[in-house]
Structure 1
């Protein structure tokens, strides 16, 4: 696998929002294949070893790595322990970002495989897809995800992009009841307007599940909602990852004032 040249003028970005022991971290965009491989190893650790996913990686993927056909088109954002001249830092958090230009080359978005995104067509020229976000278990109580979001905000502004979409996953080890109940809660409070709603290609069978459980959104989804994200429709079932995937959209214009200052600097 060859790492393509970045589709946008990417530069290293070091967040000032890291504190205490996190001062020894750096936020960077992957420039070399070995950096992408480090992100894929973290993804394998979280999605496969911890969460029990069983994806089918492309031929040639090294053992112990999570990869798919979209990786070669994506930009990969990393949080890692600070490196020195001899020792590379350890990747402890990652996002991958598929830009509008790269999505054209890839033949679409990952989300296109799970949802009919026809109603988002007018947004695509300024829309990026976020995916495969994960944080090392040892660092989930810190500000790693906030550092990633700060870098994403800088990236969006610098490249005149306005909308982020992605699939937020809810585990289905309980058979899907928690995911169905969460969807019922969020559709009442955070559902996008009709003109942005999408349909799952393989729907979670909500009508066959208990939708009356009192559940709390996972921390990542909760964070998106605080930033003004909207749910675009009912969840899809991803059999490879055994998750229910909620389609989310977050527009910079909808960021509350406190988050605009934090992530956009104004």
Structure 2
């Protein structure tokens, strides 16, 4: 396999993840049989596997318009600066889940976080030294069960603690399609629901650069937040403000923040062993 050249992934040895959440090669059993394994990508070929999964889900399923330098892959300029977390099917070795992680040092080298393009993050400036950005969350359609997500989150929590980082941010997407029609009503309704119970304090709130006009939409629909957003909220995440509209992905993106210290005790025990 082609090894990842140094300019492509310029992490210091301290920040480069080594090993996985479990012992190398360890399989995590899943309900109903089979298993998964989780580890960090170590070379360009493994990053390409994650990018192919992202393309299949974002372009193939969601209809996103992706500007990519490599056909059949979701590639952007931030990928070269990120760590890529992979979950594999233990039998087929296929990548079935992925996250990418942008550390504070790498965000400086990249020039910004991805979220800086969608939101004014000035109120988070005092957190940046210990803040990572999660992005491009993606799970194969045949593996969208709790095990894959828990494996990803467990590895992320271990990475955060090992590298003395305490804050995660990211954009959680809400599809704009409702009953076959492109509409922002679902996103407005989800926003009205979560802001009543999970809005961050004013000192951490951010503003979208391309706001979704939530005040002009029907925000009274009886809809549930997407599963990933519900999972973040159960882990103690906070919503940082109103959603931005992402026209390329045709989604409404909620800015979210999760801090290790806010993990509920049951999840701290599960992810961190304390």
TM-score normalised over the length of structure 2: 0.90
Please give the residue correspondences for 1:106-117 in structure 2 after superposition, counting only pairs within 5 Å. Answer: 106-117=110-121
Aligned length: 259
Matched, 1:54 2:65: yes
Distance 2:163 2:143 in 1: 29
Matched, 1:246 2:257: no
Please give the residue correspondences for 1:132-171 in structure 2 after superposition, counting only pairs within 5 Å. Answer: 132-171=136-175
Would the aligned equivalents of 1:234 and 1:246 in 2 still touch at CA under 8 Å?
yes
Match of 2:125 in 1: 121
Match of 1:180 in 2: 188
Deviations 1:131-184 (A, max 9, x none): 000100101124001000000011000000000000000011231100011101
Would the aligned equivalents of 1:233 and 1:247 in 2 still touch at CA under 8 Å?
yes
Could you tell me which runs of 5 or more consecutive residues in structure 2 were left unpaired when the two chains were aligned. none
Match of 1:19 in 2: 30
Match of 1:40 in 2: 51
Moved over 6 A (4+): none
- Partner secondary structure for residue 177 of structure 2: coil
Matched, 1:260 2:265: no
CA displacement at 1:6 relative to structure 2: 3.7
CA displacement at 1:5 relative to structure 2: 4.4
Deviations 1:71-93 (A, max 9, x none): 0000000001237xxxx821000
Shift of the 168–195 alpha-carbon distance from structure 1 to 2, 3 Å rule, reads same
Distance 1:18 1:105 in 2: 38
Shift of the 157–14 alpha-carbon distance from structure 1 to 2, 3 Å rule, reads closer
Would the aligned equivalents of 1:12 and 1:28 in 2 still touch at CA under 8 Å?
yes
CA displacement at 1:19 relative to structure 2: 2.8
Distance 2:122 2:146 in 1: 38
Distance 1:191 1:48 in 2: 31
Distance 2:140 2:111 in 1: 31
Shift of the 18–153 alpha-carbon distance from structure 1 to 2, 3 Å rule, reads farther
CA displacement at 1:20 relative to structure 2: 4.4
Distance 2:214 2:53 in 1: 32
Would the aligned equivalents of 1:203 and 1:234 in 2 still touch at CA under 8 Å?
yes
